[in-house]
Amino acid sequence: MSSVPYKQDMPPKGGYGPIAYKRHIPNRGVSGYMMFLGCAGAMTIGMIGLAYSNRLRSKLLAMKRLRDEEAEIMSDVPGWVVGESVYNSERWVWPSNEEFYNLLAKKDRFSKIHEYYLHV
Amino acid sequence: MTPLIIFFLFSLILCIILSIVGHRLPTRSLNLEKLSPYECGFEPHTSARLPFSLRFFLIAILFLLFDLEIALLLPLPSALASLNPTLSFLLAFIVLAILTLGLIYEWVQGGLEWAE
Amino acid sequence: MSLFSIIISLIHILLIIVPVLLSVAFITLGERKALGYMQARKGPTLVGPYGLLQPIADGVKLFIKEPIKPSSAASWLFLATPILALTIALILWVPMTFPHQFSSINLSLIFILTLSSLAVYTILGSGWASNSKYALLGAIRAVAQTISYEVSLGLTILCIIVLAGNFNLTSIYESQTYSWFILTCAPVSIMWYISTLAETNRSPFDLAEGESELVSGFNVEYAGGPFALFFLAEYSNIIFMNALSTILLLGGGSPLEILGWPQTILVALKITFLSFVFLWVRASYPRYRYDQLMHLAWKTFLPLSLGLLTFIAAIPIALDFLPPY
């Protein structure tokens, strides 16, 4: 028994390495910055589309009001066709901007004037 | 209006009929064991109408406040269609800011904490 | 009102309620099938071809099972709440646009908000009337969760109506012809979808059910027919919420609208897709903890949606594209 050399187990030279107690979770999915950028991009695209459609709807609504007003004014003129194109063609022509904004229906005209008054 | 009332009455009557069918169609053999409420499979230990955590009450109060705020903001689209949308937006913003301050206060006071 | 018009509206009502109840029946089958295949098994296959008649067999089984009313329960409330739950769930479908609707209510979103708030009373009433601890605890949890997420749902609806300029579902549908609100309100729509999951007490927010601790939540003491009514109401609400998300965020039948084609099939496909994502989420995510749930509602969604409402309302004013009124 005593011939067996005695050997004490010791820590390795320089001590043990640090214990890996921190959780290492792999990165999954897109990062927060990418999500933020993605949302911002989606909102930009969406707002451009919405701006187009809302302006179009406002314009069409104003033209419908104009047409209703035309029908009301010209109701006692026999043979008047409401909303008839001034051109000798079937093709749809948008009114020019000056024509459109100077010939607004009563309701829209009122709001335009007051908007100007309140803003200036 | 009348089609709406017919819809309401129709769905109410349909549900009542379904309920009556569910109660009358099956054969019933009831006994005391079946009819008693249970608790982990045993007889209930105490009354079921137990006192519950006040947190839930606080949540209900908070819900009242914030839902009231939403109710106040509901006319916002009509207000934005008015002659001066910037002014209506500013007014709505003031309401929102006051409620955000209320939320911050509640947060700082610890009303939103669930586990201490 | 003549008898003829009453009969016409009755037919119209049946044409809404019967498909709703049928789709509720088949979404239960779809749920079991989808969950089954996601867990590498087949789901119901025995009743009818591919198990297609399973929901009908389930319904018949539920209605011939013995309903039990616990002796200590408050009798009228206990009997009335399942009826009220299904009635509210069916009435909710009145203003829904496919794009044709039963009744064009001008303030249809307020109608929907009001009725879905009323649905809370059925949960609370049934849980309280059961006079059982599990039912009461489940009901309190369900009510606290539902009302918490209702706040962020309401704020999301405010964002959408500010951009659409109207409470009418038809005009919201029309204003998405060129861009869907899921793009326009991208962060808000993610919160909306999560809130609908929580609002309908679906997993991962199904704490009201909590099998391991509450057995089944507010409807433990219900059996047979009354339970079937609760079940139908719950699934009808799920489909309704997805239909609402389709109309509010996914633009209804939007790409077909420009072409002038019939849009109903596209709307139905979108609703089916969203409902399938509900099932997918159930198969994928573990349940939340209750404090995490409340934390998500009050500390994340509420401040975010307050800020985003201000931001989103400011954009059309700043860039001058307020909706027509």
Q: Are B11 and C90 in contact (CB under 8 A)?
A: yes
Instruction: Tell me what pLDDT residue A49 has.
Output: 87
Q: Which of C64, C91, C109 is the last residue of a domain?
A: C64
* Close Cβ partners of C202 (under 8 Å, ≥ 6 residues apart): C238, C278, C281, C282
Q: Are C133 and B50 in contact (CB under 8 A)?
A: yes
Backbone angles phi, psi at C102, to 5 degrees: -65, -45
Q: Which ipTM did the prediction report? A: 0.85
Same domain, C179 and C243: yes
Instruction: Tell me what pLDDT residue A120 has.
Output: 37
Same domain, C73 and C8: no
Beta-bridge partners for B39: B42
Q: How do residues C103-151 score in pLDDT, each as one tens digit? A: 888 888 899 988 988 888 998 888 888 888 888 888 888 888 898 899 9
- Chain A nearest-CA distance from B104, in A, is 24
- Tell me the chain B residues in contact with residue C79 when contact means C-beta distances shorter than 8 Å: 19, 23
Structural domain count, chain C = 2
Cα C161 to Cα C172: distance, rounded to the nearest angstrom: 8
Instruction: Tell me what pLDDT residue A118 has.
Output: 43
Same domain, C76 and C56: no
* Close Cβ partners of C149 (under 8 Å, ≥ 6 residues apart): C195, C198, C199, C297, C301
Query: Over 90: is that where the pLDDT of C179 sits?
Result: no
Cα C165 to Cα C183: distance, rounded to the nearest angstrom: 17
Q: How do residues B77-94 score in pLDDT, each as one tens digit? A: 888 877 778 888 899 999
* CA neighbor of C244 nearest in space, from C152, C109, C150, C151: C109
| Full residue range of the structural domain in which residue C10 is found | 1-64
* CA neighbor of C82 nearest in space, from C117, C129, C138: C129
Q: How do residues A33-91 score in pLDDT, each as one tens digit? A: 998 999 999 999 999 988 888 888 888 888 888 888 888 888 888 888 877 777 888 88
User: From residue C146, how far is each of C151, C197, C206, C247, C291 by CA, in Å?
Assistant: 9, 10, 11, 22, 14
Same domain, C163 and C223: yes
Q: Which of C18, C41, C64 is the last residue of a domain?
A: C64
Q: Are C102 and C268 in contact (CB under 8 A)?
A: no
The reply to whether C178 falls in a domain is: yes
Same domain, C15 and C113: no
The reply to whether C324 falls in a domain is: no
Same domain, C45 and C159: no
Same domain, C145 and C284: yes
Cα A29 to Cα C114: distance, rounded to the nearest angstrom: 38
User: Which C residues, 143 through 172, put their C-beta within 8 Å of a C-beta on chain A?
Assistant: 163, 165
Same domain, C17 and C128: no
* Range list of β-strands (E), chain C: none
- Chain A nearest-CA distance from B75, in A, is 19
| A51 touching chain C per CB within 8 A | yes
Give, to the nearest 10 degrees, the angle between helix C3-38 and helix C264-284. 40
Query: Over 70: is that where the pLDDT of B41 sits?
Result: no
Q: Are A87 and A93 in contact (CB under 8 A)?
A: yes
Same domain, C11 and C74: no
- Tell me the chain B residues in contact with residue A115 when contact means C-beta distances shorter than 8 Å: 83-84
Residue C78 vs residue B1, higher pLDDT: C78
DSSP code, position C47? S
| B84 touching chain A per CB within 8 A | yes
- Tell me the chain B residues in contact with residue C94 when contact means C-beta distances shorter than 8 Å: 4, 7
* CA neighbor of C294 nearest in space, from B53, B98, B95: B53
| A45 touching chain C per CB within 8 A | yes
- Tell me the chain C residues in contact with residue A47 when contact means C-beta distances shorter than 8 Å: 179, 184, 315, 319
The reply to whether C210 falls in a domain is: yes
The mean pLDDT of chain C is 87
A38: nearest CA partner in chain C: C186
Residue A107: Cβ within 10 Å count: 12
Q: Residue C28: how many CA atoms within 13 Å on its side-chain side?
A: 20
Q: How do residues C146-166 score in pLDDT, each as one tens digit? A: 988 999 899 999 999 988 888
- Chain C nearest-CA distance from A61, in A, is 7
Mapping DSSP onto H, E and C, the string for C96-130 reads: CCCCCCCCCCCCHHHHHHHHHHHHHHHHHHHHHHC
Same domain, C148 and C293: yes
For C255-264, the CB contacts below 8 A with 24+ separation are: C257/C174, C257/C177, C258/C177, C263/C99, C264/C98, C264/C99, C264/C100
Same domain, C170 and C284: yes
The reply to whether C299 falls in a domain is: yes
Q: Are C146 and C85 in contact (CB under 8 A)?
A: no
| Mean predicted confidence (pLDDT) in B15-25 | 87
The reply to whether C58 falls in a domain is: yes
Rounded to the nearest angstrom, the gap between the alpha carbon of residue C54 and the centroid of all alpha carbons in its chain is 23
The reply to whether C325 falls in a domain is: no
Cα C34 to Cα C282: distance, rounded to the nearest angstrom: 10
Read off the amino acid at residue C157: I
Rounded to the nearest angstrom, the gap between the alpha carbon of residue C324 and the centroid of all alpha carbons in its chain is 30
Instruction: Tell me what pLDDT residue C261 has.
Output: 75
Instruction: Tell me what pLDDT residue C244 has.
Output: 92
- Tell me the chain B residues in contact with residue A111 when contact means C-beta distances shorter than 8 Å: 83
Same domain, C39 and C103: no
A108: nearest CA partner in chain B: B83
Instruction: Tell me what pLDDT residue B116 has.
Output: 59
